[in-house]
Amino acid sequence: MKITIQDCPAGEEDEIIIRCKQVDDRLLKTIYSLKACHDKITVSKGEKISQLSPSEIFYFDTVDNRVYAYTQQDVYETKLKLYELEVRLAHTDFFRASKSTIINLSKVKNFSPSFHGRFEVCLKNGENLVVSRQYVPGLKEKLGL
């Protein structure tokens, strides 16, 4: 694979051109990752509204019909529903771990099997989450196990 980077003149939009003989899963994953980096998720904390890059988010969780985005140190609320986030973040490192949780796999420190076919996930920020047994096969597939 050959990679060429060119400077573009001021005022022009950045552009990525992909030339290939065949589009495979690896290429599609790269494309989705590039697109996801530019898609921001609107969140709020108190009265303040901001936008987060998906790469900043460790996981999403639902509590009392509200969806929260957890980062290294903060918790934000988003108006998006969990199923909307799941669709929007498909083909990225985000993974549906339970009915109420979506985890960013790039923020996982390690996995370990747990009771009743579940997996326990230790995140890089020290938090522990559980992957429900219903979602374990999808996790194994995503990890290539």
CATH of the domain at 113: 2.40.50.1020
Do the domain assignments include residue 39? Answer: yes
What's the DSSP call for residue 13? P
Mean pLDDT comparison of 13-27, 28-42, 120-134, highest-scoring range: 120-134
Do the domain assignments include residue 8? Answer: no
The pLDDT of residue 35:
65
Name the β-bridge partners of 108: 123
Do the domain assignments include residue 102? Answer: yes
Do the domain assignments include residue 88? Answer: yes
Do the domain assignments include residue 18? Answer: no
Give the pLDDT confidence of 28-69 residue by residue, as tens digits: 777 766 665 567 899 999 999 999 988 899 999 999 999 999
In a 13 Å sphere around the CA of 70, the CA atoms on its Cβ side amount to 18
Do the domain assignments include residue 131? Answer: yes
As a whole number, mean pLDDT of residues 78-101 equals: 91
Indicate yes or no: pTM above 0.85: no
Do the domain assignments include residue 123? Answer: yes
Give the pLDDT confidence of 73-84 residue by residue, as tens digits: 899 999 999 999
> Which ranges constitute the DSSP H helices of the chain?
25-38, 82-88, 136-143
Tell me the residue range of the domain where 83 lies.
25-143
- Please give the torsion angle defined by the CA atoms of residues 38, 39, 40 and 42, in that order, rounded to the nearest 10 degrees: 160
Residue (of 97, 72, 99, 81) closest to 41 by Cα position: 81
Do the domain assignments include residue 96? Answer: yes
| Contact indicator for 32, 23 with CB cutoff of 8 Å | no
The total number of structural domains in the chain stands at: 1
| Residue 116, Cβ density class (10 Å: 0-12 exposed, 13-18 middle, ≥19 buried) | exposed
